[in-house]
Amino acid sequence: MLLRWSAAGIGAASVLLVTIAAYQAHHMLRQRCNAVDEQQRQDTALIASADKVKADHDQAAQRLQTLKGTLSDLKSRIPNSPNEAEFLAQFSTLAERSLVRLRNFRPGQVTNGDTVSTCEVQLSLVGSFANICRLVDALQESPRYLSITRFALSGPQQASDPCFADMTISIVFSPVQNK
């Protein structure tokens, strides 16, 4: 009988040990399963955002191409030296097309910057108000990058007289330019 109780005790202890081990294994597997489920949710969210990331990437690449084109266009409009004579020829052509007479052209001060420099050019113009406005508007089509830094317009003394305009234009150039 003692042997029977001993065998029963060993059997019960074995069943208890197997049950505890099974419970521990089940608990460990459940934790691992939960971790895999969470990783799957994160991966699914990442995959779902992949289309947005790709769209953002494509949009950024397109913007970069646009900026490269703009930079290339800008570089083509900035010569290595002021070339005042070339600018005078370009401006004279625009003035003729606008029916404005160029009365005075004086290259002036050069201002050196880190990447670009400017040369101020003073001009005096004679023409009708509408034609002077047309010339100023046509400057945006100039093959040179420039800015009008001063503009003074004097009206005619009489209705049939022309207007006079004095302006200062800064023409931009880059002595050191990577084209």
**For the chain, the helix, strand and coil percentages under 3-state DSSP, each to the nearest 5:** 55, 25, 20
pTM above 0.75, yes or no: no
Domain borders along the chain are 1-76, 84-173
In this prediction, residues 44-51 reach a mean pLDDT of: 82
Q: 143-169: per-residue pLDDT in tens?
A: 888 999 999 999 888 878 899 999 999
Measured CA distances, 129 to 50, 103, 119, 149 (Å): 59, 16, 27, 19
Give CA–CA dist 86/69, Å, rounded.
25
CA atoms within 13 A on the CB side of 72: 6
CATH class given for the domain over 84-173? alpha beta
Q: What is the pLDDT of residue 5?
A: 61
Q: What is the pLDDT of residue 179?
A: 47
Instruction: Calculate the CA dihedral of residues 68, 72, 73, 75 and round it to 10 degrees.
Output: 140
Measured CA distances, 30 to 16, 35, 103 (Å): 21, 9, 92
* pLDDT reading at 127 higher than 70: yes
Contact 119, 171 (CB under 8 A): yes
Which range is most confident: 10-19, 36-45, 55-64? 55-64
Q: 3-22: per-residue pLDDT in tens?
A: 566 767 777 778 778 888 88
Give CA–CA dist 20/12, Å, rounded.
12
